[in-house]
Amino acid sequence: MSLSPTDLPNSYIGRSVPRPNLARLTQGRGLYVSDLSLPRMVHVAFLRSPYAHAEITRIDTTAARAMPGVVRIVTGAELAEFCTPWVGVLAHLKGLKSAPQHPMAIERVRWQGEPIIAVLAASRAQAEDAAERIEIDFSELPPVVDVMAALDPSQPVIHESLGDNLAFERRLDAGEVDAAFARSDVVVEKTFTFGRHTGVTLEARSIVADWNPGEQRLTVHLGTQAPHMMQNIIALHLGLEEPQVRILCQDVGGSFGIKVHVYADDMAVAALSRMLGRPVKYVGDRLESFVADIHARDHVVHAKIGVSSDGRIQAFEIDDLTGIGPYSVYPRTSAVEANQVVNLIGGPYTCPTYRARTRVVFQNKAGMSQYRGVGHPIATSVTEGLVDLAAMRIGMDPVEIRRRNLVADDAYPCASASGLKFEALSHHASLNKLLSVMDYPALRAEQAALRARGIHRGIGFASFIEITNPGPAFYGVGGARISAQDGAAIRLDATGAVICQTSITEQGQGSGAIIAQVVATAMGVPIDKVRVILGDTDNTPYGGGTWASRGAGIGGEAAWQAGRALRDNVLKLAGTILQALPETLDIAQGSVIDAADGRERLTLAELARIAYFRPDTLPPDFQSELMATRHYVPRQYPFAFTNGIQASYLEVDTDTGFVRLLRHWVVEDCGTIINPQLVDEQIRGGVVQGLGAALFEHCQYDSQGQMINANMADYLVPMAGEMPDIEVAHVVSPTLESALGAKGAGEAGTAGAAACVSNAVNDALAPFGVEITEIPLTPELILRALGRA
């Protein structure tokens, strides 16, 4: 029988336990990298390229060097002596190519914002003052800006050594696609356009690198999701052994995928510290974050669906094109999002007939790579947009067409046309639950009544699947040294307190809290006796970290296994002390009890006292082991898929083009829920990031490759006043691969939010015969579609 943790007495699984680190954060006692100051620390400001594509013809730092407070000025060529270049490719993404990237540009710049020169000074302000005095000449080159034009032979090739601007191409052909379209009663063909947007973490990327020549060790304080990955990469490119690099990650001011990548400026800071032999601090300012952080999306998808008149989906076909900037981002590459789009299209539906192509092209813009949801928002928007348009054409309700095509809840295990393996999903149960919480018939009635009064409201749906708990299939098989497994080491201290070191990290999602819940439950101790340590390569087991919705499912399971192992060790010791069989004992509320009647036999504090201070009272052949370590990685399925459905109710002002979000619902299935409040808040936060993409967020570039809204006043993000309340409900289908049964929940909100908003806008504008397949849905775009701009 599989273990059911929620059935254990005193279980914290399934309870909304408050996070232990919140009090200090509310008091302003967080410790973010940007707060850090070390003895002898210098600050760095980067002179960044003002051009998208140019040769550097002259650099003169004479005047800058004479500026107050300046410690050193370093060019890209000088820094190259301290840091080898990297190439962002993975072996399993066949054909993916990229060029060697240095921490700072040498001779040629390839995007606006690329670091060129580092100015190190006593303060950041002085470093910036000096940077302004650097004389630098460029010879401008024509930039490749437009995704559609990047493959045109008349366009410049960004890296001559690569031959062209095509980084990656993948094709997939499943089933008799042409025949399926031929037998379809209706074929809908549309081009879906997704604007580039970015993460806008409220704390910009920050790093303090501290090379200690006495220890021959580099300590890097970094807000990162993957400390061991960064340890490996910094060591590799700085010519150090891995144990010479320690990554410390305390509080992180937002991440969402932004802080899981290797950035040129971060690598430069690590190398500069090595070069100078003292701590170097870099905190991105907002203006440079917009051009130095990764961007995401930027896809144009030509897509097609065929349906029969009874609403059965016959086939999907897509041709996706995406622009990734001048380099494939290291080490996770910039081809994963496109790959995911191909994998995920049509995912919720029974449709074995599918053809896809994706092309990933270089361009002279900021780098593009994995950001919350990776490919899901695109695949969901295309799939759900096509399904709704097809329903409209055949005069079928959007709910009905989904009912007829969503994979049946009893069809599992099964696989998608693209080969994704599903263990157990709950599309129909989720749809039914959604309809009951949103009261669909009443909303349709209200919509009709208001439409008669010239008020245009729309209802949109988006079913989705989400990849969580990835094993090595994402990165390890491609040769990246990014751990697929995670570990937990748990020890019982001399007072009976429990300390858990985990390799997953915390960026606000509540990793620390859920690990404490799992450990307290596995051990049978009160949760306030558990302390969790994370974010330190010196003091945690080796592991992947927190990304791709893997923390709870993989790191949580490792903590569960370690907690159960330590519990067994404790019971062995207790049996020895009490002269009882361990299997007749249990642990509850921090005490060893009789399993049969719950009678307290021995507190863990007393047990620990004996083990640590009076082992002489134990049998001579008995050695207590009050620390246990376990690791976990899913083996049966490459990913644990989750599913869900979202719905949006909104109003479009057809005079101004403004969209007002009224209600938003999410039903999702992430398996066992460890902490309901934290899951719901992950969903809500994820939804709002998706809503930002749907309505506001857009990295706008001009024809010369200049990002023209690279500041927070012009790049719009969702604010409190324009966001709706979001109702979240759950269906629970635990994965049977792990004892906990938890799958990921961090990206489900982002996966479907934009899709259901787009569908709702089209539903609202149906009387006008308007179909918009582009985001962000700005007022201008809507008015243009209405012919009113």
* Residues binding other proteins (CB under 8 A): 16, 18-19, 21-23, 25-32, 34-35, 125, 199-204, 251-256, 283, 285-286, 507-510, 677-678, 681, 684-689, 711-713, 717-723, 725-726, 749
The residue among 89 and 650 lying less far from other proteins, judged by its C-beta, is 650
Question: Order of strands, edge to edge, in the sheet holding 591-594?
Answer: 585-588, 591-594, 600-603
Q: Residue 161: is it exposed, middle or buried by C-beta count within 10 angstroms (0-12/13-18/19+)?
A: exposed
Distance between first and last Cα of the chain: 64
CB contact at 8 A, 583 and 595: yes
CA dist., res. 42 & res. 433, Å (int)? 57
Q: Which amino acid is at 571?
A: L
Beta-strand relationship, 217-222 and 245-248 = parallel
| H or E stretch covering 296 | strand 295-307
CB of 742 to other proteins, least distance (A): 18
The residue among 34 and 328 lying less far from other proteins, judged by its C-beta, is 34
CB of 69 to other proteins, least distance (A): 12
The residue among 109 and 283 lying less far from other proteins, judged by its C-beta, is 283
CB of 10 to other proteins, least distance (A): 21
Taking the alpha carbons of 233, 239, 243, 245 in that order, is the dihedral positive or negative? negative
Q: What is the largest CA-CA distance in the chain?
A: 89
The residue among 21 and 363 lying less far from other proteins, judged by its C-beta, is 21
The residue among 285 and 310 lying less far from other proteins, judged by its C-beta, is 285
The residue among 203 and 409 lying less far from other proteins, judged by its C-beta, is 203
CB of 83 to other proteins, least distance (A): 28
The residue among 21 and 358 lying less far from other proteins, judged by its C-beta, is 21
CA dist., res. 783 & res. 781, Å (int)? 6
The residue among 19 and 365 lying less far from other proteins, judged by its C-beta, is 19
CB contact at 8 A, 53 and 141: yes
CB of 357 to other proteins, least distance (A): 34
CB of 468 to other proteins, least distance (A): 18
CB of 204 to other proteins, least distance (A): 8
In 3-state terms the chain splits into helix, strand, coil percentages (rounded to 5) of: 30, 25, 40
CB of 288 to other proteins, least distance (A): 11
The residue among 507 and 517 lying less far from other proteins, judged by its C-beta, is 507
CA dist., res. 749 & res. 761, Å (int)? 19
Judged by DSSP in three states, 225 sits in coil
| H or E stretch covering 25 | helix 22-26
Place of tokens 């303060």: 123
**Contacts for 554 with CB less than 8 Å, ≥ 6 apart:** 469, 485, 486, 504, 544, 632, 633, 634
CA dist., res. 500 & res. 556, Å (int)? 11
Q: Which amino acid is at 5?
A: P
Name the phi and psi angles at 701, rounded to 5: -115, 145
The residue among 255 and 517 lying less far from other proteins, judged by its C-beta, is 255
The residue among 192 and 371 lying less far from other proteins, judged by its C-beta, is 371
CA dist., res. 770 & res. 652, Å (int)? 12
Nearest CA to 746 out of 682, 690, 693 is that of 682
CA dist., res. 120 & res. 434, Å (int)? 56
CB of 225 to other proteins, least distance (A): 12
CB contact at 8 A, 653 and 714: no
For residue 464, list its beta bridge partners. 644
CB of 168 to other proteins, least distance (A): 30
The residue among 753 and 765 lying less far from other proteins, judged by its C-beta, is 753
CB contact at 8 A, 626 and 608: yes
The residue among 13 and 710 lying less far from other proteins, judged by its C-beta, is 710
CB of 239 to other proteins, least distance (A): 34
DSSP conformation letters of 236-294: HHHT--GGGEEEE--B-S--TTGGGS--HHHHHHHHHHHHHTS-EEEE--HHHHHHHSP
CB of 310 to other proteins, least distance (A): 39
CB of 37 to other proteins, least distance (A): 8
